[in-house]
């Protein structure tokens, strides 16, 4: 098993350039949450020349709509959602400095190309492990689009949030590598 790489957000270009598809990463710091409805609004703000509700430089966006917190907890289950729904908005977010995305599932080829161009990475969080993932989340605040309920933009403070690099800044794809390895075996 490979060594876990520990990174603190916001991520730098050097941070993401050092990552390779398949690397296990532990993130500490701030993640922002946004799903497709929020991304549509965020990109509309950018297209109107307005500011985002958070600093996108070095940001990592987690594609999640957490369930309500139980008494005494900061968040409910917080598992990743399928990432392709954000593909139409991803390059625009990378253009303004986003360095990481967390979700599940494969990304479109043009999004992988944009990661190479803008030096960003795509991480996978483990689907089906939402309650375990929530343990890494220490604080959550809604910062925009409260009307979207679970899909509102949130600022999450995380500690030792485990992810795996799926797509790196060189265009490598862990899913494709895994399929290729399987074909050879």
Q: By residue range, what is the domain housing residue 157?
A: 5-184
Residue 148: CB partners within 8 Å, gap ≥ 6? 37, 38
109-118 and 87-95 are packed helices; what angle lies between their axes, rounded to 10 degrees?
A: 10
Identify the active-site residue in 11, 25, 31, 39.
39
**What pLDDT is stored for residue 129 in this prediction?**
73
How many domains would you assign to the chain? 1
Say whether pLDDT at 132 is over 60.
yes
DSSP states of 100-116 as a string?
EEEEBSPPPHHHHHHHH
Structure token digits, residue 62: 């987690």
118 carries an active-site annotation: no
CATH number at residue 99: 3.20.130.10
pLDDT of 182 reads: 65
Average pLDDT, the chain: 93
φ/ψ of residue 97, rounded to 5: 115, -5
| SS3 label, residue 172 | coil
pLDDT band at 185 (very low <50, low <70, confident <90, very high): low
Mean pLDDT of 106-126: 96
Answer yes or no: is pLDDT of 1 > 60: no
* pLDDT surpasses 60 at 20: yes
Q: Is the pLDDT of residue 122 over 80?
A: yes
Residue 150, Cβ neighbours under 10 Å: how many? 14
Q: What is the mean pLDDT of residues 161-174?
A: 96
- pLDDT category of residue 76 using cuts at 50, 70 and 90: confident
Residue 158 pairs with which residues in a beta bridge? 29, 137
Helices marked H in the chain: 13-17, 36-47, 87-95, 109-118, 130-134, 174-184
At residue 175 the predicted structure's pLDDT band, cuts being 50, 70 and 90, is confident
């Amino acid at each position: 098993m490979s060594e876990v790489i520990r990174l603190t957000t916001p991520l730098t270009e050097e941070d993401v350039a050092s990552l390779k598809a398949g690397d296990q990463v532990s993130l500490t710091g701030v993640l922002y949450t946004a799903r497709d409805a929020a991304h549509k609004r965020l990109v509309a703000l950018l297209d109107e020349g307005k500011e985002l509700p958070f600093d996108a430089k070095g940001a990592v966006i987690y594609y999640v709509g957490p369930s309500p917190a139980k008494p005494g907890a900061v968040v409910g289950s917080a598992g990743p959602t399928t990432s392709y729904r954000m593909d139409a908005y991803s390059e625009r977010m990378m253009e303004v400095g986003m360095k990481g995305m967390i979700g599940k599932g494969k990304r479109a080829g043009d999004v992988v190309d944009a990661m190479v161009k803008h030096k960003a990475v795509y991480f996978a969080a483990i689907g089906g492990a939402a309650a375990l993932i929530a343990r890494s989340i220490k604080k959550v605040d809604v910062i925009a689009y409260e009307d979207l309920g679970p899909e509102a933009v949130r600022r999450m403070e995380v500690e030792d949030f485990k992810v795996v690099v799926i797509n790196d800044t060189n265009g490598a794809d862990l899913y494709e590598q895994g399929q290729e390895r399987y074909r050879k075996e």
